[in-house]
Structures are given as structure tokens and as C-alpha cells.
Amino acid sequence: QGKIQRANLDGTNVETLVWGLDTPRYIALGIPAPQTPEDTRTELVARADVNGDGTVNILDLVFVAANLDKQGENAADINADGVVNIQDLVLVAGALGQDAAAAPSWHTDALVGISTADVQGWLSQTQQVNWADPRARKGVLFLERLLAALRPQETTLLANYPNPFNPETWIPYQLAKPADVNVSIYATDGALVRTLALGHQAIGVYQSRERAAYWDGRNALGEHVASGVYFYTLTAGEFIATRRMLILK
């Protein structure tokens, strides 16, 4: 059995404080036990079961989405900050995505109430937040998986982000069928500034920074372009669409 002693720095005046540490040391000293990662995970999962049905699934995500922006006491306020917002949504999604190897627990009836526009909007909000919490990062990844599960019905060019920007931006899009993909960037006079050849890509949503087209604000010669309005055109098979963006320096 162990014991805890104290003494002067020179080793004199040794005094035994605690004998026989049969219980964990922090209990013997009256110190609260530190929270383990498993404790934190259990607490998160318990709070993420917002509808109280005993399991965390897509229904809980829908419940939080339905309560977004509501203030005051609310089961959907996972982090208890007084308002239901994107952070709560991502934490529930993070609980859903705890087991990266497991497939999400989809409920077809619940998914009917979620559109790709909804999930794209949530992901757009997460791009404005610095997620230091690994659980939140799992939540963002889960939302991307959810967006991919909501198979695009049509090929679409989305708004770049950030916009305005300096010097870099991401250009998201979604593909309803496989295609060779290029993003061409033009000046207002129609001059071609840069072409991003993205190769042959599968059906899916290319919205996160890891998947969207990336432009560093340089032309084909590697030179930084001037401030102003530019146009970007997505070509994917027979699909062509153009949007505008703004560089502000």
C-alpha cells in the first residue's frame, strides 16, 4: 500500500499525510476526479440525444435544426450557451460521427425534411468558425457525409467563399453525374486569367476546402492579379455556368 509524505527541501521533517492508498489518490486527498475522454464522450452523447429516445440519430439533428436561433432553456442548446446555433448542430453531428467506420444512422422520413440547401447553409456557417474542438470537426465531417448522401439532382456552380477575398478563395460545386471538370477565371474584359483543370470527377458535392476548387489569386504566370471583379466558369461535361467574385486588397 502506498503513502503520501511531505518534507523540507533538504529531506528533514518528513511527515506522512496519507497511509494505504486503496482508493485513487485524488479521492484520498479530496480532489475531484479528472474527467476522462470517455466521460466527455458519454456526456456529449447524452446531451446530443435531444429528443430523449435513447439514441443519437438523424432525428436529433433535425430537432436542433428546427430550433436554430431560439433562445432560453432548450434541449437543443447542447453547449448550454443560451441560444441554439450552428455550434449545437455541429456537436450533435459530431456525436453522430463518433465512430468514423460506422455508417450514419439515417431515418428516411427525417431526411425528407432536409435539403441539400439546408446542409450547404450549415456548412457555410461552419466555414466562418475556428473549430478547435475535435468533436466539432467530426461534426463538420458528418455534415459533409450527409450532404453527399443527399445526392445532387443537378450539377450546380455555387458561390465562392470567402467573397470578397484576398488573396485566396474556394469555388464549390456539385455534380449530378461524373464529368471532366474545369474552372476558368476571367477578367471583366473577357481575358482568360487562369484555368484550374480538376480532372475527371465523380458524382458528389465539392464544397469543403478539401474538395472545392481552390484559386490562390494568381494568373497563369504565377503573378498576383489586381483588385477588382472577376468571373469564374465551371465546365463539367456539357454543363457550363458562370458567377462573379471580388478581390479586395
pLDDT digits (tens, 9 = 90+) for 136-187: 777 787 788 787 777 788 999 999 999 999 999 999 999 999 999 999 999 9
Supply the pLDDT for residue 160.
96
pLDDT digits (tens, 9 = 90+) for 178-188: 999 999 999 99
C-alpha cell at 44: 456529449
All structural domains of the chain with their residue ranges: 1-34, 37-149, 156-247
Q: Which residues of the chain have pLDDT under 50?
A: 1-2, 21, 23-33, 35-40, 99-109
Supply the pLDDT for residue 113.
57
Structural contact between residues 178 and 202, judged by C-beta atoms closer than 8 angstroms: yes
Three-state secondary-structure class, residue 65? helix
Structural contact between residues 96 and 142, judged by C-beta atoms closer than 8 angstroms: yes
Supply the pLDDT for residue 5.
55
C-alpha cell at 125: 456557417
Handedness of CA 185, 187, 189, 195 (dihedral sign): negative
Residue 150 half-sphere exposure toward CB, CA atoms < 13 A: 19
Which fold is adopted by the domain 156-247? Immunoglobulin-like (2.60.40)
Supply the pLDDT for residue 197.
98
- Calculate the CA 109 to chain-centre distance: 24
Supply the pLDDT for residue 28.
44
Grid-cell match 428546427, residue found:
66
Supply the pLDDT for residue 104.
45
Supply the pLDDT for residue 102.
39
Three-state secondary-structure class, residue 117? helix
User: Which 8-state DSSP code applies to residue 159?
Assistant: P
